[in-house]
Amino acid sequence: MNLSGIDQFVDVATMLADTAQSVVRPWFRRGVNVDSKQDASPVTVADRSAERVMRAILAERLPGHGVFGEEFGQDNAGADYQWLLDPVDGTRAFVTGRPLFGTLIALFYKGEPILGVLDQPVLQERWLGVKGRQTLFTSPLGGTARTRQGVALEDAEMSCTSPEMLELAPHDRWRQLKQNARRMTWGGDCYAYGLLAIGQIDLIAECDMNPWDWGALVPIVHGAGGVMSAWDGSPLRLDGDRTVLAAGSASLHSQAVGILRAEQ
């Protein structure tokens, strides 16, 4: 596609993020009721309300586009442009009062993520990634979206949302990757990828990831100098194996893929 006209979509994505922030933030640390979905994952009024509002904006501004949200499914599945929405990625963190969650907004074109927003409504931090452009990062603390380069695996700060997630891994070679890294930190959900994009984390290996979990993060990580793929190094796909590997540099990514591909 010709990305010269993507700025109109950036404006819509920014509107979606601003609106979702205004919906989600007032519910933080307010003792919201937590329901369990069919897969036993938690959901709150903040998730549902934010997605409804974002869907309403898209229906008005871009009625020809498709929408695929975590809470309310898919509309207009045949459209070339598909918006993937995760209003509160990291609901467990949200309901326990930890600001390690975020709103994820992705735009796919013919199955490829071309635009992504990660917004942390409590800390007022936002990452905006567009295919082929430098990622933009805004925060009250300042900073620039740039991954750490030249980090060897033995010096890498590694992260994963939870050990339970890795119980669903297609193999256990992530254990060797973890052992070879400098340190493993648990927790973070989408916020960990934002930290990778600003050079605080170097490596993330996760699995059981849905497209709305990773779609927005691909342009953000790539635009900050990093690499994202499946564990075998192949591009992330809507119908992929649900593994995700993110690294701050191509060389670190290559090292990680070499381990995750290795024969047992």
Instruction: Report which of residues 1 and 87 the model is more confident about.
Output: 87
**pTM of the prediction?**
0.93
What is the torsion angle, in degrees rounded to the nearest 10, for the CA atoms of residue 75, residue 33, residue 100 and residue 175? -80
Q: What is the pLDDT of residue 39?
A: 54
The CA radius of gyration of the chain, in Å to the nearest whole number, is 17
Give the mean pLDDT of 31-57.
Answer: 74
> Can you tell me the distance from the alpha carbon of 10 to that of 47, in angstroms, rounded to the nearest whole number?
22
Give the domains, in start order, of the chain with CATH numbers. Answer: 3-138 (3.30.540.10), 153-261 (3.40.190.80)
Instruction: Give the DSSP letter of residue 27.
Output: G
Instruction: Work out the number of other CB atoms within 10 angstroms of the CB of residue 165.
Output: 15
DSSP class of residue 153 equals G
- What confidence score (pLDDT) does residue 158 get? 98
Quick one: pLDDT at residue 178? 96
How far, in Å, are 130, 169, 260 from residue 237 at the CA level? 18, 17, 18
70 is in an annotated binding site: yes
**First-residue to last-residue Cα distance in the chain:** 41
What pLDDT is recorded for position 40?
Answer: 46
Rounded to whole angstroms, the Cα distance separating 247 from 228 reads 7
- Stretch 39-63: mean pLDDT: 83
- Whether residue 135 is predicted with pLDDT greater than 90 in this model: the reply is yes
Q: If we measure between CA atoms, which residue out of 183, 176, 185, 201 comes closest to residue 260? A: 176
Q: Is 213 annotated as a binding residue?
A: yes
Answer yes or no: is pLDDT of 38 > 60: no
Which residues have C-beta within 8 Å of that of residue 239, sequence separation ≥ 6?
A: none
CA distance 97 to 67: 29
Does residue 91 register a pLDDT over 90? no
Is 89 annotated to bind a ligand? Reply is: yes
**SS3 of residue 246 by DSSP:** strand
